A and B are shown apart, each in its own frame.
Chain A
Amino acid sequence: MPPFNKILIANRGEIAIRIMRAVKEMGMKAVAVYSDADKNSLHVKYADEAYYIGPSPALESYLNIQRIIDAAERAHADAVHPGYGFLSENAEFAEAVEKAGMTFIGPPSYVMRKIKSKLEGKMIAKNAGVPVSPGSDGPVESVDDAIKIAEKIGFPIMIKASYGGGGIGIIKVENVEELKEAFERSRRLALQAFGKSEIYIEKMAVKPRHIEAQLIGDKYGNYVVAYERECTIQRRNQKLIEEAPSPILDNEKRKELIEASIRFGKAIGYYTLGTMEFVYSEVSREFYFLEINKRLQVEHGITELITGIDLVKLQIKLAAGEYLPYSQEDIKIRGHAIEFRINAEDPLNNFAGSSGYITYYKEPSGPGIRVDSGVDLGSYVPPYYDSMISKLMVYGKDRATAIQIARRALDEYKISGIKTIIPLYKLIINDKDFIEGKFTTNYISEKMPVFLEELKKREEMKVISYLVLYSQSQIKLSFHKEVKSSYRNVDRMSAWKRQGLVMQSTTRVMW
């Protein structure tokens, strides 16, 4: 018997589809919600049922608790899965779901309230004997306070949104001048993205790497950790490439990480899935707790690949009150997995978001490849939400094999109509330091000047190739015009052919 009958997924894009897949496999019904911008999106079509919840801006749809609860009630759902981002870590939402008589797939609202923000999480960690990095012990309300704290702990520092996630609202600050400028910007972004402007300050580690542990717990105080993921390759504090296991962690440190994570879970009676994020310094071989993500993580797939556990199914079962079916000894690491976040962004233009229609789409496949995508040919990538459209995961018996597979997979992945960071990944995957696992969270910002030059050169080469063929009349841009002229003879054509030509001659060619 499946634990629920019908689960509403209060999210969009690839993660909504990922969760629906688990829901369907478990023999339950999956319900989607959608905004105006998403009415033709893949997750809406993939669901068993779908309900409209409002206009495109997230505040009026995916962040609107009442509209989502209404949709869940209309659908007679008995559980709600929040995915990641949006309302996934919002205690009021979890409570609203519980009050409506449904199960929230995640930690219960009373546990969430203990760690409403990153800041509260940090204090709990401190008390549970989990190491934390120095910074403000509370929210910072004014620029003057910020400067005082920063000068006490020393620059560089990070300004972080207490209620943030996905790297939004995190700003690295090197000096007082930058701090003055960044303070308001960070508060505004935090308010916009998370509805709360509270921010705090933390010291930046030396040669930091980002390592996180996958905490899994049931309602009855049993915990396991499905090992770690390394998410050091970031830009603007947003993860780009993640891998599991970490290429640098030894078994002794791994054990410390696991034990600290379980202590934290026990301290607050946490259950379902949580991600314990740490910053790890290779120099001092010390790790500091950053925050706990109280939800399914974007990069959960690579843990699934190396452990063989379906984390989404497990999460649903644990939320329903089932016992944890494994002990720590049952979980083994097999092989190596790497994930590339496919973002609709232009690496040549400071990673500016690139929205639009997808006019060409070929996904990689074959041995060792998993693609969790939220788009297809003809999909619209709206400017209102996160830029991640898909995740490419590769899996091999060791890291070197995974990298070989990644090279092939990235070559196979072809997208047009929007910009993506695939061309940048092709450079990273061939970079010596990446191949040897030598990097810090500054990897992208340090290497970017070299990568940019190469990317520019490659883009120009493509245009030159096109022009060579064009100037030699091997390729014609006038394709659209020719279609239009033959379109005048439409009366002599069958309606099917006419329809086909009309479809082809519009600027957005396919779908």
Chain B
Amino acid sequence: MRKVYKVTTETGDEYVLTYSIDGEYLKFETLSGVYRARILQKGTRDNEFLIEINGEVHRVFIENFNQIIVNNEILRISNIQEKYEEKEVSLQELISSKKGEIISPIYGRIVSLRVKEGDAVVKGQPLLSIESMKSETIISSPISGVIQKILVRVGQSVKKGDILLIIK
């Protein structure tokens, strides 16, 4: 049975992956591809592991119990949700279940709303702009549909991860 991991990094990125055992490898699947990975061996230093991912060997260090350094970059994870799949669902479906919710990617202030409730939007159409650190980020619609609800107004501050509006 496959397991589904939902990983949230400290900086708020979400990754949905499926996990299963494939011989001596652990098989992870993301939207961009399949990774066959395993711990090759423990390293020669404390908290060092040699991890093989798709044939490439990476030196991974565990730092302060719950963070890792890999390829000279630090990764801190804030949450991992795991569950066994009841029935086989495609990754696409797992990720897109909440696709109509438009989430703020940054901390900032809403400077303009270009749509109103009930408007029909097409994929790629600009929905609203958020200003942060003196630059404006335009949020475009990832799907085509109808604006069901707008949860923010101009001038309001939003956090990363806040739901801005819902498209049906």
Give the B-binding residues of A (Cβ under 8 A).
Answer: 166, 168, 185, 188-189, 192-193, 236, 344-346, 349-356, 359-360, 383-387, 411-412, 414-419, 422-423, 456-472, 474-477, 479, 507
Contact = CB atoms under 8 A, between A and B. Distances in A.
Contacts of A475: 62, 65-66, 68
Interface residues of B, number: 51
Closest 4 CB pairs of A and B: A353-B133, A353-B132, A411-B72, A387-B133
Contacts of B7: 463, 466-467
B110 interface: no
Interface string B4-26: 01010111010101010000001
Contacts of A384: 133
Given A416-B11, A468-B39, 10 more contacts: A349-B106, A353-B106, A353-B107, A353-B133, A383-B133, A456-B32, A462-B73, A466-B77, A475-B62, A479-B65
B74 interface: yes
Interface stretch (B84-92, B93-101, B134-142, B145-153): B134-142
A350 B131 contact: no
Contacts of A414: 69, 72-74
Interface of B: 5, 7, 9-11, 13, 15, 17, 19, 26, 28, 30, 32, 35, 37-39, 49, 51, 53, 58, 60, 62, 65-80, 105-108, 111, 131-137
Given A474-B49, A479-B66, A468 B11 contact: no
A470 B8 CA distance: 14
A344 B13 CA distance: 15
Given A472-B39, A477-B79, A192 B131 contact: yes
Contacts of B108: 353, 383
A370 B7 CA distance: 36
B49 A418 contact: no
A477 B28 contact: no
A7 B137 CA distance: 37
A350 to B, nearest CB: 6
Nearest to A417: B10
B70 A461 contact: yes
Contacts of A344: 133
B127 to A, nearest CB: 15
A464 B136 contact: no
A354 B66 contact: no
A356 B15 CA distance: 20
Interface of B is mostly: strand
A350 B140 CA distance: 12
B54 to A, nearest CB: 9
B39 A385 contact: no
B75 A468 contact: no
A355 B132 contact: yes
Given A352-B105, A466-B7, A386 B133 contact: yes
B72 A477 contact: no
A460 B30 CA distance: 9
A457 B39 contact: no
B19 A462 contact: no
Contacts of A349: 105-106
Nearest to A357: B10
Contacts of B132: 352-353, 355, 383
Nearest to B25: A468
Nearest to A472: B39
A356 B49 contact: no
A359 B39 contact: no
Contacts of A411: 72
Contact of B66 (A356, A415, A476): A476
B74 A383 contact: no
B134 A385 contact: yes
Contacts of B60: 465, 469
B62 A467 contact: no
Contact of B28 (A236, A355, A462, A464): A464
9 contacts: A346-B11, A355-B107, A386-B133, A386-B134, A416-B11, A463-B7, A466-B7, A467-B5, A507-B78
A460 B73 contact: no
Contact of A469 (B30, B62, B72): B62
A467 B28 contact: yes
Contacts of B76: 359-360, 416-417
A479 B65 CA distance: 7
B137 A477 contact: no
B80 A470 contact: yes
Nearest to B56: A461
